[in-house]
Amino acid sequence: MHIHILGICGTFMGGVALLARAAGHKVTGCDANVYPPMSTQLEEQGIGLIEGYDAAQVDLAPDMFVVGNAVSRGNALLEAILDRGLPYVSGPQWLAEHVLAGRWVLAVAGTHGKTTTTSLLAWMLEDAGLNPGFLVGGVPQNFGVSARLTESPFFVIEADEYDTAFCDKRSKFVHYRPRTAILNNLEFDHADIFADLAAIETQFHHLVRTIPASGRIVANAREESLKRVIARGCWSELEWFGDAAQWSVATGASEAEAVFSLGGFEQGRVAMPLAGSHNRENALAAIAAARHVGVTPAQSIASLARFRGIKRRLELRGVVRGVSVYDDFAHHPTAIALTVGGLRRREPQGRILAVLEPRSNTMKLGVMKAQLPASLAEADLVFCHGAGLGWDAAEALAPLGARARAYDALDALVADVAAEARPGDHILVMSNGGFGGVHQKLLDTLAGH
């Protein structure tokens, strides 16, 4: 089968492309925003990319067009497909029918931590010899790719609550039909498609409804929203994790050591390879889920010591003249606060210079702008790229006083950050996009100072 993927450089659709190629299909695709790491990964796999959505691409005559959720009505190629009555399907539906069907799917859902927890879970199964397939919204360093297809019956997937496609407004994860599901947390997000938190809770309950009685849900006991989801009906095995829950994690002999327990009995301890208390809970959820497919907690905890992290999750991009530059995907205020706090715990010496691009649809709407100052409280200085927003970034960050600055021009931001930085500082770049290559620009500018 020849499939042509619209929106192929998104993390999910790029993963679908890799899986389709591995399954023996011919894969081509197009996108308007092509940037690493996905563009590089696709090119390395020999998948042809077309810049833009020219309607002439219908002449490629694929057997199926696979449409990503970034593609809306009015898109020239999509309109041509519809006008000609050509076959099309959403990415999640294609994945469910051609890859996930018949497999034991382990799905990781939640507002935050999906990529990290999915990567951890896939690695725990891999390290235990189960050779899982996976699709992650990032690139785990242990694997080097965001998606992999194997002969194993197990498949680990990052289960996103965002909508499926222009023609299917259900959350993507309702297509996956997992046997094991992690419900990591649940806050309001995606204000462009959800009216309120209750609307997202409904989608999460739709996911719960698809899990068989022999399946297992691993849910965060700290989250009242998840308790409400479960209270609407649960027909599967249920295990809770968090404080005073069935599964718990505590600090050991040092700040870096995590002690994991089940039913009050210690299962093992390890020096965490990831910073922050949130990553301890991500690991705890993954340990609990791995147990459902037969991986012992002791084995999963041992695997943690060999986990190498994920690209764009507190990824150190370089050190110049004693100044470290990190890249992170954080874009929701809670994720920003956890990322800054995690770096502060890991690197208590030196200042944190936070460089932020509010790029997500929710952020652009300004729904969460009032939460930004508190989320950045642990940063010493804040530099915000506010171009293209429907709200005033400088005004929103005013509670931080002289510690925060807003910019419309990226080059001016880079120049000021580089001029401010001194040896021992940590520059933390946070965006869910390419951010104009700001990481390399900062490293190059620092090298020139």
Q: Average pLDDT in the 130-155 region?
A: 93
Whether 194 and 57 map to the same domain: the answer is: no
At which of 304, 333, 368 does a domain end? 304
Q: What is the pLDDT of residues 292-351, one digit of tens each?
A: 999 999 999 999 999 988 877 778 899 999 999 999 887 788 889 988 988 898 888 899
Cα dihedral sign for 327, 329, 335, 336? positive
Whether 408 and 300 map to the same domain: the answer is: no
At which of 91, 111, 128 does a domain end? 91
Query: Please, which pLDDT band fits residue 35 given cuts at 50, 70 and 90?
Result: low
Separation CA 242–CA 183 (nearest Å): 12
CA distance readout (Å), 397 to 189, 212, 367, 371, 402: 20, 47, 14, 9, 10
- What integer pLDDT is reported at residue 277 of this predicted model? 83
Entry pTM: 0.80
Tokens of 63: 């057997």
Whether 206 and 294 map to the same domain: the answer is: yes
Q: Is residue 310 part of a domain?
A: no
Q: Which residues, in sequence order, are CB contacts of 68 under 8 Å at separation 6+? A: 5, 6, 7, 8, 10, 12, 13, 91, 165
Query: Please, which pLDDT band fits residue 37 given cuts at 50, 70 and 90?
Result: low
Whether 257 and 227 map to the same domain: the answer is: yes
Is residue 101 pLDDT above 70, yes or no? yes
Separation CA 285–CA 245 (nearest Å): 12
Whether 257 and 149 map to the same domain: the answer is: yes
Q: Average pLDDT in the 189-199 region?
A: 81
Whether 265 and 145 map to the same domain: the answer is: yes
Strands in 265-271's sheet, in edge-to-edge order, are 147-148, 133-135, 154-158, 104-109, 180-183, 216-220, 237-241, 247-251, 257-262, 265-271
Where residue 126 sits, what CATH number does that domain have?
3.40.1190.10
Q: Which residues, in sequence order, are CB contacts of 308 under 8 Å at separation 6+? A: 140, 141, 142, 273
Q: Average pLDDT in the 360-371 region?
A: 80
Q: Is residue 243 part of a domain?
A: yes
Structural domains of the chain, count: 3
Domain that holds residue 399: 315-448
Query: Please, which pLDDT band fits residue 192 given cuts at 50, 70 and 90?
Result: confident
Whether 342 and 405 map to the same domain: the answer is: yes
Whether 327 and 424 map to the same domain: the answer is: yes
Q: Is residue 309 part of a domain?
A: no
Q: Is residue 377 part of a domain?
A: yes
| Lowest mean pLDDT segment, chosen from 103-112, 331-340, 394-403 | 331-340
